[in-house]
Amino acid sequence: MSESPPATTPPSLVVRGLAYAYPDGHQALFGVDLTIARGERVALLGPNGAGKTTLVLHLNGILTAGAGTVEVAGLPVAGEHLREIRRRVGIVFQDPDDQLFMPTVREDVAFGPANLGLRGAALEERVRYALDRVGMADFADRPPHHLSYGQRRRVAVATVLAMEPEILVLDEPSSNLDPASRRELADVLRSLDVTVLMVTHDLPYALELCPRSAVLAGGVVVADGDTRDLLLNRDLMAAHRLELPYGFDPSSVPA
């Protein structure tokens, strides 16, 4: 009698043939295919209007596909699974002030798990763990508006980590950060054991943090592969309005 093959862990994200048109008739996605394995860090690149935000809004069911499917850790993004999907897909907004609204850092980080029913010591441990991961445990009792912008960005990440997500989606995580804050956030992101999808125009940051990138343009994925290889492809970059900072050479950055 032959043994059953070992169970495999489903990818964190599988998008197949995803198409979407807004109510005004504007077609934003024309058939997106994207698979991200557990633990991968992937950058989503593309010019303004490419459909990046529209794609992200499908990952936790804010938008419903016109055609195609989205699965998170094997669960279809559909009505009966939306509560669990929204726990598994943690979105960190571009502006941390859109995410922080409680009197203290501790209360902001506790808000999501408390809404899921976590209480007492278990809730305190979840908050402590999330703040430790982003290096903000010493600021738990501070009002968020007393923190620097970079510190608020890390607290926003902690609010999502407290939900124990399958995939962390970051919208322009390096925007408005000074060099030290960029480095601190990069150190945090490299240390996390969750899948990361980073939507960014910051191509050096994508190269620093994401071994793989996908380029979205015109509502489809036009390239998907090694980040360094994509950034060195001048024809691809020019065709899709992706420009490196003046003097930046991807080939000079250590692998």
Share of the chain above pLDDT 70, in %: 97
Selecting from 3.30.70.20, 3.40.50.300, 3.30.1310.10, 3.30.910.10, what CATH number does the domain 13-244 have? Answer: 3.40.50.300
Quick check: 6 pLDDT over 70?
Answer: no
Beta-ladder partners of 44: 199, 214
Find out whether 236 and 230 touch, Cβ atoms under 8 Å: yes
> Tens digit of pLDDT for each residue in 128-178?
999 999 999 999 999 999 999 999 999 999 999 999 999 999 999 999 999
| Least reliable range by pLDDT among 16-20, 30-34, 46-50, 239-243 | 46-50
Measuring CA to CA, how many Å separate 44 from each of 52, 59, 79, 139, 212?
7, 13, 26, 31, 9
pLDDT score, position 7: 58
Q: Which contiguous run of DSSP H or E holds residue 207?
A: helix 203-209
Mean pLDDT of 84-91: 94
Cβ within 8 Å of residue 251, ≥6 positions away: 228, 232
pLDDT one-digit tens code per residue, 9-23 = 899 999 999 999 999
Extended beta strands in 77-217, E state: 89-92, 167-171, 195-199, 212-217
CB 75, CB 85: distance < 8 Å: yes
What's the pLDDT at 162? 96
pTM: 0.92
